[in-house]
Structure 1
Amino acid sequence: MMESTRVLIVEDIVSLALTYASQLEAAGCQVEVADNGEKARYYIEAGQREQQPFDVILLDLKLPDVDGLDFLADAPELTQSASVIVITADGSINRAIQAMRLGAYDFLVKPVSVERLTTTVKRAGERLRLEQEVQVARSLQRREQFQGFIGGSDVMQVVYRAIENVANSKATVFITGESGTGKEVAAEAIHELSQRRSGRFVAINCGAIPENLLESELFGHVKGAFTGALENRTGAAREASGGTLFLDEICEMELKLQVKLLRFLQTGMVQPVGSNRAVPVDVRVVCATNRDPLTEMSEGRFREDLFYRLSVLPIDLPPLRQRGGDVVLLAQAFMARFSAEEGKAFEDLDDETQQTLHQYNWPGNVRELQNEIRRAVVMSAGNKLSLSHLGAGATVPTTCAKLAERESSQIDLSPDADDALTGLSFQGLTLEQIEKMAIEKAIANNGGSVPGAARDLAVSPSTIYRKLEKWSLTGTSS
């Protein structure tokens, strides 16, 4: 919480320093102000002597007696004991980046909005507390399984404690992390550990439902509200009343609907499509995204006010490549499960196989590992699991991903997509034609279901809908 955050503002422009101080004090911080480097050093040393060190230091890079970069370079231990946020003018972004290379946590560009200042300071303080949590986690009894998670690494111990801490809060939780890291598992764990566990856990994938239907899915509609509305619909928010509403891929939501979601969060009232009457709803909201919400805000795709309303209790899930030995624990668990399903038996993973697991980067995280182990269980002969095809077929998916990234989409074909690509020849085809063939094959394999194809290809259904619309308008052929 921000109440325990001690902040030192190092800024020589008195009006700015006082503005920052009043805004942070209003947010519950304890604030000291220094107008030059010498005074800042005095406050820092005094705080350490009195065992009341600063959690966050706001450092202007242009001070009257010292350059901000020199201030950091001369005290490398400073960034170990506090989160340093540098403040810079528009024309000195490169200097801010240099400061981050010296250990600064983040930078702010003048002028700084109240929301940006308080949120950045809050996160900077949380960064220190997270490091302290890691140290505490190392001294406590380790858990290798927790509410559907498998993993005993330090970073996962912190995640487990965070889930336990937020479970009974009424505040919204914002879960971030790469695709395949277990964001829905975390949301379900929060629900199961909360006092709302007797209520329903209702999940909505904001990227899997076309824009014109998502509002109805969330808030419901009345009969006759639009073509096809043949009866009243309750909507996910009211279905989850007394329980938890999980909004996955929240950054896929269109801006117009983001406004209505913000109003719902602020008022606790739901207005079904086509109705003039708002209905109160008692629901706890948990949301998730595999995108960087700050980037989405800066590029105008996600409302800043909605982000700050949602991100009251942030939880970031680490990628598998940062979880050390967890990859082996997960692989063994998946091997045991799929072996039982297939009626096979394998020896424990040998050193060579474990080394292979550690050396691979796992861009698809736990989901990719699960798919690889399932494939290995099916394809391996004898009693030794073979990972000889680890990452096979990555050439075409990588190419598609690069193309999609250029188009502001995210095509990342998963290992499950191999069957969809079998027998296709790519010689002489453009990247767009290859992409179109892969998508059409996946849709056909799923009986015409776009959401099913999206699951196989590990992309958002909205990405496929957009591409189908584009190809129908341009008449692109494969």
Structure 2
Amino acid sequence: MNGNDRYLLVVEDDPGLQSQLRWCFDDFQVAISSNREEAITMVRRHPPGVVLLDLGLPPDPGGVTEGMKTLQEIQLLSPLSRIIVVTGDHDRDHAVEAIGLGAYDFYQKPVDAEILKLMVNRAYSVFELEQENMRLQAHQKEGPLQGIIGSSPEILKVCRTVEKVAPCDVTTLLLGASGTGKEVFARAIHNLSTRKNQKMIAINCAAIPENLLESELFGYEKGAFTGATQQTPGKIEYADKGTLFLDEIGDLPLELQAKLLRFLQERVVERLGGRKEIPVDVRIICATHQDLTTHIQDGRFREDLFYRISEITINIPKLKDRNGDALLLARTFLNQYCSDLGKGTKRFSEDAIQAIENYPWPGNIRELESRIKRSVIMADNGQITAEDLEINFDPQNNTPLNLKQIREEAERSAILRALNHSNDNISETAKNLGVTRPTLYNMIEKYNLKA
């Protein structure tokens, strides 16, 4: 079959209706099957763009059991296929049940050729968009920077800053909440720097016990302490000529802050138990989710060290502040884990998409990735729902996608705000909004507002 043909699978046991549908869709490559077994064989051979599925199939033509099973099996084999279920008259409940299981739409007999053609064409357009989206994701680079996925203005601004900072050998401080991807940005800086062919050594200052952190950073000589049986260079030395990433720098003990400050000033280290100064050429990138200015006021962080590590400061936004990026990241993780875990192809249901866009993501990207991975493992079919993501979603609180609706809500909000500012003075409100009084009265009436 030509890959450019629009492929429609009709699952229908009535020979008369089969012929009618084949004639109706002469602009499609139409395949006909009479039962579940034939339909599944055809889907395995060539996944269709759209499936017209009669729920009343043999051996249960009077019921819907066989049709529902066919629906679920097709979804597992070809999640991108759009399934339109065809039901008998007065059988709306079963149609709604099929929609709940992931069907794209439903149509009730008797067949009206024009309406059904509109539904199938619309479904096929959605199928093509999904395919194109998959192709773009497969061929696109990871994002504006290597390892960075996002298209929001907020994240693009950070990426532009990274591109400017990376070639300059300056100490950089990354500020952002836990799970926002600070280490990913640190690696992006390293990969765009003149040191990209050298090592990047990362150390988490909060994860290493205080009594071990000094030796981890600066190394030690043989016999420096009990158990020091051989000379061991520290992480700073290992990063020579490359980049040292100090994550959670806000948890660095005060006495070590003084030693790190000396290294940043002199660019030499002394191992524990040693007296030799060892020169090290390394770029330092630091990160923290804490407010270092508060730590300075409380005496927990040295002010002179703060100015040394923050020659350039980059603020990384929370996921909830990155407009549109949550869904982009979610789709990327979905494709990644479906591949890694051998789960075939899955897609998000409409309520899952709305939940992803509206959930505040307190754990940021780390939480999003964790929820997507778990849902890929636990989802029962080719569709991931808000329930699979374990997100309680209220559709009534959903942000609209319709531009007219968005504009009207923005207009209404602006009028209310202007009225409040002017204490309901119409002339002043009209002046502040840049409209005439008659226009303002019309808008107040339109949005049912009382001045």
Matches within 5 A, 1:60-459: 144-388=143-387, 390=389
2:200 partner amino acid: F
Return the offset for 1:314: 0.5
Q: Which amino acid aligns with 2:343?
A: K
Q: Is contact 1:255–1:302 with CA below 8 Å preserved after alignment?
A: yes
Structure 2 regions of 5+ residues with no counterpart?
1-140, 393-451
Q: Is the 8 A contact 1:143 1:157 kept in 2?
A: no
Q: Is the 8 A contact 1:172 1:311 kept in 2?
A: yes
How many Å apart are 1:377 and its aligned residue? 0.4
How far 1:298 sits from its partner (Å)?
1.5
Shift of 1:379: 0.5
1:339-373 deviations in Å (ceiling 9; x for gaps): 11222234433432111012111111000000000
**C-alpha deviation, 1:297, in angstroms:** 1.3
Q: Distance in 2 between the 1:352 and 1:334 partners? A: 18
Match of 2:222, SS?
coil
C-alpha displacement of 1:227: 1.1
The amino acid that maps onto 2:374 is R
Q: Partners of 1:152 and 1:343 in 2: how far apart?
A: 28
Shift of residue 390 of structure 1? 4.1
Q: d(CA) in 1 for partners of 2:379 and 2:275?
A: 61
Per-residue deviation, 1:320: 0.2
Q: Deviation at 1:145?
A: 4.2
Provide the rounded CA distance (Å) in 2 between the counterparts of 1:145 and 1:158: 10
Unaligned runs of 5+ in 1: 1-141, 394-478
Q: TM-score, normalised by structure 2?
A: 0.54
Change in Cα spacing, 1:295 to 1:391, as seen in structure 2 (3 Å) is farther
Q: Secondary structure at the match of 1:296?
A: helix
The question of whether the paired residues in 2 share the 8 Å contact of 1:218 and 1:237 is answered with yes
Displacement after TM superposition at 1:162 (Å): 0.9
For each residue in 1:253-291, what CA deviation from the matched residue of structure 2 results, as whole angstroms up to 9, or x when unmatched? 100000000000000010111111111110000000011
What is the CA–CA distance in structure 2 between the aligned matches of 1:144 and 1:239, rounded to whole Å? 30
How many Å separate the matches in 2 of 1:143 and 1:199? 22
**Cα shift at 1:303:** 0.8
Which whole-Å CA distance do the structure 1 matches of 2:344 and 2:274 have between them?
58
1-structure distance, mates of 2:241, 2:386: 46
Distance, in Å, in 1 between the alignment partners of 2:144 and 2:188 is 12
User: Do the aligned residues in 1 keep the contact of 2:378 with 2:388 (CA within 8 Å)?
Assistant: no
Which has the bigger relative contact order, CA under 8 A and spacing at least 6?
A: 2
Give the fraction of aligned pairs with identical amino acids, expressed as a percent. 47
Secondary structure of 1:174's match? strand
Structure 1 length-normalised TM:
0.51
Q: Larger Cα Rg: Structure 1 or Structure 2?
A: 2
Could you tell me whether the CA contact under 8 Å between 1:346 and 1:385 is conserved in 2?
no
Is this contact kept in 1: 2:177–2:289, CA < 8 A?
Answer: yes
The C-alpha deviation readout for 1:38-90, integer Å capped at 9, x for no partner, is xxxxxxxxxxxxxxxxxxxxxxxxxxxxxxxxxxxxxxxxxxxxxxxxxxxxx
Report the CA distance between 1:392 and its aligned residue. 7.0
